[in-house]
Amino acid sequence: MDISIKSFTLFLGILLTGLSAGLFYAWMGSVIPGTRKVIDPTYMASMQSINRAILNPAFFLSFFGSPILLGISTYQNNGTGPAFWWLLGAFLTYLFGTFAVTIFGNVPLNDALDVLDLAELSKS
């Protein structure tokens, strides 16, 4: 079975993008509804813990690997045919709809939450 680099790159890009989508779907379908049911101090402590735990190699591989591999796959299709346009759409959607929103929106909020001393806040 001969698998080309182009096909392998596309497969990995799709796989990692699917893993990222699954993570975000599970987050939306379980973590968010669950955290809505706890009191504020518990919510903040939970989010601090989650934000620290998610910074791991598995997350980094899918989160950063997806746009890299989608970009490479788009480039490998040489701007021709419908596959190029589908890949370009997927790449731009992930780049701006997931990657940029997370990096420029969620990460600064997570960083601000991370530095809060919850024990000190509870004394107030």
Q: What is the mean pLDDT of each run of 10 residues along the chain (124 residues)?
A: 82 96 95 92 92 95 97 90 93 96 95 88 72
Token readout for 17 is: 């993008």
Tell me whether residue 94 is exposed, middle or buried, using C-beta atoms within 10 angstroms of its C-beta: 0 to 12, 13 to 18, 19 or more.
buried
pTM: 0.85
The predicted structure's pLDDT at residue 117: 87
The predicted structure's pLDDT at residue 28: 94
